[in-house]
């Protein structure tokens, strides 16, 4: 399982709103474009890669707590398992943002070995994405009201 957590000056709701606007995912998640619905049972499709080199990542939302948590079950041929995001309000303002994944790679033991080798790079990728997400949400909050 991979887990990354950062803090943001934006509120939990502001972060959640940017996070779950799938059409904006490319603005914060490197090498990924997505589209899909919201709420339990909604489908999400993501393309991860550069240009035509990549893969389709299909998902179904299995948990949805507005402003706080979304869980997506990956159903594709390349990636399977669960990924989730949580936004937790902080007493001093802002929020903590959590991105966690419990994924299974294809190709049995070879895939598990590859996933383990890529773990540190994946956490860096996740941290970069969350920092971008936080900046976007913080920028949105300046224009609200």
Is 79:95 a contact under the CB 8 Å cutoff?
A: no
* Gap between the terminal Cα atoms of the chain: 39
> Has residue 144 got a pLDDT over 60?
no
Domains and CATH numbers, the chain: 2-143 (3.30.530.20)
Q: Residue 93: what pLDDT?
A: 94
Q: 122: pLDDT confidence band, cut at 50, 70 and 90?
A: confident
* pLDDT for res 115: 61
Per-position DSSP letters for 123-139, written without gaps between them: HHHHHHHHHHHHHHHHH
Q: Residue 140 has what pLDDT?
A: 76
User: How far apart (Å, rounded) are the C-alpha atoms in residues 69 and 103?
Assistant: 18
Residues 6+ apart with CB under 8 A from 74: 57, 58, 59, 80, 81, 82, 83, 103
Regarding pTM above 0.75, the answer is: yes
* Span 61-117, pLDDT tens digits: 999 999 999 999 999 888 889 999 999 999 999 999 999 999 777 666 666 666 666
Phi, then psi, of 42 in degrees rounded to 5: -70, 145
Residues 8-46: pLDDT tens digits?
999 999 999 999 999 999 999 989 999 999 999 999 999
């Amino acid at each position: 399982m991979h887990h990354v957590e950062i803090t943001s000056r934006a509120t939990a709701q502001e972060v959640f709103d940017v996070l779950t606007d799938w059409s904006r995912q490319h603005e914060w998640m490197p090498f990924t474009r997505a589209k899909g619905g919201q709420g339990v049972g909604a489908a999400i499709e993501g393309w991860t890669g550069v240009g035509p080199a990549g893969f389709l990542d299909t998902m179904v939302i299995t948990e949805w707590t507005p402003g706080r948590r979304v869980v997506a079950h990956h159903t594709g041929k390349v990636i399977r398992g669960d990924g989730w995001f949580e936004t937790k309000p902080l007493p001093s303002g802002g929020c903590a943002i959590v991105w966690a994944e419990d994924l299974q790679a294809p190709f049995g033991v070879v895939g598990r070995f590859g996933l383990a080798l890529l773990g540190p790079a994946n956490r860096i990728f996740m941290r970069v994405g969350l920092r971008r997400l936080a900046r976007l949400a913080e920028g949105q909050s300046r224009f609200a009201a």
